[in-house]
Amino acid sequence: MQHIRRPRKHQLYDPAFEHDACGVGFVAHLKGKAAHKLLPEARQILVNMAHRGAVGAERNSGDGSGILTALPHTLLERVARDELGETLPERGRFAAGIVFLSRDKTERTACETAFAEITAEEGQRFIGWRDVPRDNSMIGPTARASEPVMRQAFIAAGDTVSSEVFERKLYVIRKRLTNKLRGSAVDTNDMFYICSLSTRNIIYKGMLTPEQLFEYFLDLTNERFETHVAMVHSRFSTNTFPSWDRAQPFRFMSHNGEINTLQGNVNKMRAREGVMESDLFGTDLQKIMPVIEPDLSDSGTFDNALELLLQSGRDLPEAVMMMVPEAWHNHRHMPDEGKAMYEFMSAQMEPWDGPASIAFTDGRVIGALLDRNGLRPSRYYVTEDDLVI
């Protein structure tokens, strides 16, 4: 049997002790101007962090690398017209995302059918599938043995929903699909994983080295692929196993470091599920449970919690500051209103603590922060041509 999923607890190995130590970076245009030229810049950042990633016994089987960008509307509109025979709705009224699927045709068909059915049940319109253009000639035997089928899903908003409600419905659709199709796959070779599903951003990632990412995903070198933000990640899976789905970026963040308080954070999130209420979600709230999905790394778990805060109506910077607060108690130079904000946040959520450098984006804004002790130092530059790196 080919190894698709990671092993469960066995002898000295326990997934509870898994950590990452990686490289993370981004480039963005300060004025939000989308252009293809940001992608070669992002590639250079990623390749420069090759030493922060890892490879196996084969030098062409990497721990993982990836890129998160704003949704490339120009490219996707052309793809839908030429490959699907569809004219996409106006921007903000359609979503696209890459899905990892089983190589078994029967399993794959069942997943695709469920995808369309659940989308319809949630009042949205499933447009169609596109095969993601790839070249796997350069990846090693280990990476190829576990390589999933990759297809790009397109969804249109229902006639009666706003863009904000549509984004929230996409979250519900993804969680329902994940609960239905991935929950039973931990002990099998089947793969179902939605990298992203959004009107705002898209993720290309996999069990690749930094040098392989742009050669593997042919979309990334297409001149019609334009973005104003590009976040990249090079993975070093400390004490764990590499896999296609655990490559980063995740849906809103990339992470270098460790969440030392992880088990307590997960337990408290689970404890909250029984008393959660939301006017925005209404009866949909139960569909997104559990908030923290099984079989995730510490970074993936963080991303799950961050996504809930965002979909519940919080701004991205606010949500990240709530999860990773500054050392504010004895901060002599912090204004009183800053301390009051952090004190209020501490009553809502405990810190996700540990050495960390985290970059985050929702496809519109982008930022970064360090842990309260600055144990994973990072630096940034602002250039004369309006780039922040």
Lowest mean pLDDT among 49-63, 114-128, 197-211: 49-63
Cα 138 → chain centroid: 24
In this predicted model, which residue has the larger pLDDT, 219 or 243? 219
> What pLDDT is recorded for position 3?
45
User: Would you say the C-alpha torsion 337, 339, 340, 345 has a positive or negative sign?
Assistant: positive
Share of the chain above pLDDT 70, in %: 93
pLDDT tens per residue, range 86-143: 999 999 999 999 999 999 999 999 999 999 999 999 999 999 999 999 999 999 999 9
pLDDT averaged over every residue in the chain? 91
Is 21 a residue whose pLDDT tops 70? Answer: no
What is the mean predicted confidence (pLDDT) over 42-63?
87
Share of the chain above pLDDT 90, in %: 81
Instruction: Please name the helix (run of DSSP H) or strand (run of DSSP E) that holds residue 233, with its range, or none.
Output: strand 229-234
What is the mean predicted confidence (pLDDT) over 223-246?
88
> What pLDDT is recorded for position 56?
75
Q: How far apart are CA 123 and CA 295, in angstroms?
A: 30
Q: How far apart are CA 318 and CA 155, in angstroms?
A: 29
Q: How far apart are CA 77 and CA 15, in angstroms?
A: 41
Is 200 a residue whose pLDDT tops 70? Answer: yes
pTM: 0.92
Q: For residues 3-34, b (16+ Cβ closer than 10 Å) or e, as one string?
A: ebbbeeeeeeeebeebbbbbbbbbbbbeeeeb
For the annotated catalytic residues, the residue numbers are: 22
Structure tokens at 114: 């469920």
In this predicted model, which residue has the larger pLDDT, 44 or 190? 44
Q: How far apart are CA 52 and CA 70, in angstroms?
A: 25
Confidence of residue 188 (pLDDT cuts 50, 70, 90): very low
pLDDT tens per residue, range 312-362: 999 999 999 999 999 999 999 999 999 999 999 999 999 999 999 999 999
Q: How far apart are CA 347 and CA 150, in angstroms?
A: 42
